[in-house]
């Protein structure tokens, strides 16, 4: 007897929905979407309409307080920049902001989950249910990740402030100016900053930000130390020992740490004693720049545009990477900028000092707040490995404000180098006069009611030689001096306008940008 095959297994057809049921499903779906959108626009409004009203009222109050506070702070900071600088430089406030952002991210995400629940996802059609899950996930993750990223940025800023600006001694302006010692330190293993390669004092007008860069050559000898200093006690007649130069003061102090008590930076302290004795300026703060780490900072801001006036060697002929930076106005990356500032092959120390000042000027004028915000994480990472300073974080907002003021003004320079100064046996009284005259001229406020005198310049001392060169067809003088007129670029040595004989324009200038 034949047996009948069982019927094939088939999935039962869903019952056909009526038009009214389809319409009701669409209404439930739109309601669920609306609750999520409401949570995105006004956190807590979904709960106030269809959920726990107490939760909704609390969330809305918090949201309005934060919104009004944030908008008010932003508007005030836009009109009064000092407030913005204070916020981004105050560690305890940054910690509060970070915790607030984290709490806001978690609370807002919880409201999205609750809004999804209120939308009764199990009552929705399957395809609607999937869409609602996707929408709620995208909104919750988008808002939460944005706020958490903001918290991370705030944490990075706080860590940078605490790591870099750890000084605890606040000093006031001296004669209306802040004098900050800038040291470019060696970056070799185990010898961070032991032999400063670049020594510059930035004398900044405490009111206007007008800055004078005072350059000191690393090979200066036979100079006095500041009165009453530790180094003055050890060298009452000046640093006149065999082979003793300015950049060796730091090494000498590190080898005699016991003389400096509990100081964490005896090398810097001793260098300050020397700089104060040479310039007759009272140093407020110092900053040590790791010149190798400087590469990362330049790369973090996208490079720096410089006027390369001559072929600049990159490395030494014995290096396998030896090449040149070709002349022209061009944007250099960190590696190239470092060599532009440090190269002295086929050049000399004083031409290099001039190029370093041009790099300082370019960085000041090209580093905008927009660039800092866009590349903040990379800048923070580079800066923490690049700079060591004793500027207290409580003063950071003030100096940021001064830096922005300085961006819109000329930078003046006076360098204690040949031919104006004999670095082997400097006339300290004349050096003091040079520095004082350059600062008085830049500030426009001469002391004691006397007109600001002209600082001795390379041009004055070398005028006879330069005139003779011009008569012989050598062209106009190339030394910079403190004249308002930029030196003519007829003579370029080692990438800098001027020569060792007549002086370099960027080392002695009223407007550094004009001669770079």
More confident: 33 or 455: 33
More confident: 511 or 375: 511
Is residue 36 included in any domain, yes or no? Answer: yes
32 and 128 both lie in a single domain: yes
Instruction: Report whether pLDDT(465) > 80.
Output: no
State the DSSP string of 304-335.
EEEEE-S-EEES-TTSTT-EEEPSEEEEE-HH
Is residue 140 included in any domain, yes or no? Answer: yes
**Of the residues 164, 192, 217, which one is the last residue of a structural domain?**
164
Say if strands 198-205 and 211-216 run parallel, antiparallel, or are unpaired.
antiparallel
Query: Quick one: DSSP state of residue 405?
Result: H
Q: Which residues touch 250 (CB under 8 Å, ≥6 apart)?
A: 193, 194, 195, 196, 267, 268, 270, 271
Nearest to 444 by CA among 478, 418, 410, 476: 410
User: Facing residues of 340 across strands?
Assistant: none
115 and 67 both lie in a single domain: yes
Nearest to 354 by CA among 397, 307, 394: 307
Nearest to 378 by CA among 295, 463, 257, 496: 295
Instruction: Place 17 in a pLDDT band, splitting at 50, 70 and 90.
Output: low
Is residue 287 included in any domain, yes or no? Answer: yes
Instruction: Place 469 in a pLDDT band, splitting at 50, 70 and 90.
Output: very low
201 and 144 both lie in a single domain: no
160 and 182 both lie in a single domain: no
Rounded to whole angstroms, how far apart are CA atoms 56 and 46? 7
Radius of gyration of the chain measured on its C-alpha atoms: 33
141-179 confidence digits (pLDDT tens): 999 999 999 999 899 889 888 878 878 889 999 999 999
Query: Quick one: DSSP state of residue 484?
Result: S
290 and 390 both lie in a single domain: yes
Nearest to 214 by CA among 488, 482, 407: 482
106 and 25 both lie in a single domain: yes
Q: Can you give the pTM of this predicted structure?
A: 0.77
116 and 264 both lie in a single domain: no
Is residue 1 included in any domain, yes or no? Answer: no
- What are the structure tokens assigned to 114, written together? 């609750």
More confident: 367 or 55: 55
**Of the residues 441, 469, 492, which one is the last residue of a structural domain?**
441
What average pLDDT score do residues 417-436 get? 95
263 and 371 both lie in a single domain: yes
**Tally of CB atoms within 10 A around 239:** 24
What average pLDDT score do residues 120-141 get? 91
**Of the residues 441, 475, 498, which one is the last residue of a structural domain?**
441
224 and 277 both lie in a single domain: yes
Nearest to 509 by CA among 430, 420, 397: 420
What CATH number is associated with residue 254?
Answer: 3.40.630.190
pLDDT given at position 456? 39
If one counts the domains in the chain, the total is 2
67 and 96 both lie in a single domain: yes
Least confident of 52-56, 80-84, 269-273: 80-84
Is residue 448 included in any domain, yes or no? Answer: no
Is residue 404 included in any domain, yes or no? Answer: yes
188-243 confidence digits (pLDDT tens): 444 444 568 889 999 999 999 999 999 999 999 999 999 999 999 999 999 988 88
Nearest to 475 by CA among 461, 458, 492: 492
Helices (H), 165-225: none
What average pLDDT score do residues 482-504 get? 74
Is residue 328 included in any domain, yes or no? Answer: no
Say if strands 323-325 and 312-314 run parallel, antiparallel, or are unpaired.
antiparallel
Question: Residue 287's domain spans which residues?
Answer: 177-301+367-441
368-422 confidence digits (pLDDT tens): 777 776 676 777 777 766 778 899 988 988 898 888 888 889 999 999 999 999 9
Instruction: Place 464 in a pLDDT band, splitting at 50, 70 and 90.
Output: very low
198 and 157 both lie in a single domain: no
Q: Is residue 367 within 8 Å of residue 515, measured between CB atoms?
A: no
Query: Quick one: DSSP state of residue 174?
Result: B
Instruction: Report whether pLDDT(10) > 60.
Output: no
195 and 279 both lie in a single domain: yes
Q: Which residues touch 331 (CB under 8 Å, ≥6 apart)?
A: 302, 303, 304, 305
Does an H or E element contain 415, and which? strand 411-415
Q: Is residue 209 within 8 Å of residue 409, measured between CB atoms?
A: yes
Residues in the chain: 516
Rounded to whole angstroms, how far apart are CA atoms 469 and 488? 14
Instruction: Report whether pLDDT(11) > 90.
Output: no
Is residue 30 included in any domain, yes or no? Answer: yes
């Amino acid at each position: 007897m034949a047996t009948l095959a069982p019927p094939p297994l088939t999935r039962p057809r869903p019952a056909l929905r009526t038009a009214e049921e389809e319409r009701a499903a669409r209404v439930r779906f739109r309601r669920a979407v609306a609750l999520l959108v409401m949570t995105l626009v006004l956190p807590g409004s979904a709960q106030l309409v269809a959920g726990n009203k107490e939760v909704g009222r609390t969330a809305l109050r918090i949201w309005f307080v934060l919104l009004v506070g944030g908008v008010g702070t932003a508007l005030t900071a836009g009109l009064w920049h000092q407030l913005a600088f204070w916020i981004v430089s105050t560690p305890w406030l940054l910690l509060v902001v970070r915790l607030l952002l984290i709490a806001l991210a978690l609370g807002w995400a919880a409201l999205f989950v609750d809004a999804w629940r209120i939308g009764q996802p199990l009552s929705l059609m399957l395809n609607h249910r999937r869409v609602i899950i996707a929408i709620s996930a995208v909104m919750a993750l988008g808002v939460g990740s944005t706020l958490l990223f903001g918290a991370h940025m705030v944490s990075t800023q706080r860590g940078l402030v605490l790591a870099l600006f750890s000084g605890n001694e606040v000093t006031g302006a001296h004669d209306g100016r802040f004098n900050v010692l800038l040291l470019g330190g060696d970056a070799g293993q185990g010898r961070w900053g032991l032999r400063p390669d670049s020594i510059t004092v930035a004398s900044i007008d405490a009111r206007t930000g007008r800055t004078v860069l005072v350059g000191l050559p690393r090979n200066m000898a036979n100079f006095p130390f500041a009165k009453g200093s530790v180094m003055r006690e050890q060298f009452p007649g000046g640093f006149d020992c065999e082979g003793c130069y300015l950049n060796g003061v730091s090494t000498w102090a590190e080898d005699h740490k016991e003389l400096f008590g509990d100081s964490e930076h005896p090398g810097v302290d001793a260098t300050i004693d020397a700089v104060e004795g040479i310039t007759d300026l009272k140093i407020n703060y110092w900053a040590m720049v790791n010149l190798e780490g400087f590469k990362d900072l330049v790369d973090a801001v996208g490079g720096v545009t410089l006027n390369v006036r001559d072929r600049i060697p990159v490395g030494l002929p014995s290096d396998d990477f030896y090449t040149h930076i070709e002349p022209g106005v061009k944007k250099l990356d960190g590696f190239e900028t470092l060599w532009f500032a440090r190269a002295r092959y086929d050049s000399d120390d004083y031409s290099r000092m001039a190029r370093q000042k041009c790099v300082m000027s370019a960085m000041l004028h090209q580093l905008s707040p927009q660039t800092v915000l866009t590349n903040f994480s990379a800048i923070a990472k580079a800066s923490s490995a690049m700079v060591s300073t004793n500027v207290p974080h409580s003063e950071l907002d003030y100096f940021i404000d001064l830096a922005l003021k300085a961006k819109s003004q000329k930078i003046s320079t006076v360098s204690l180098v040949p031919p104006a100064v004999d670095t082997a046996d400097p006339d300290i009284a004349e050096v003091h006069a040079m520095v004082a005259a350059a600062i008085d001229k830049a500030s426009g406020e001469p002391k004691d009611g006397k007109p600001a005198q002209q600082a001795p310049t390379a041009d004055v001392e070398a005028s006879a030689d330069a005139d003779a060169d011009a008569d012989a067809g050598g062209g106009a003088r190339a030394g910079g001096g403190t004249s308002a007129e930029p030196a003519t670029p007829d003579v370029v040595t080692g990438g800098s306008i001027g020569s060792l004989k007549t002086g370099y324009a960027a080392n002695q200038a009223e407007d550094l940008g004009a001669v770079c």
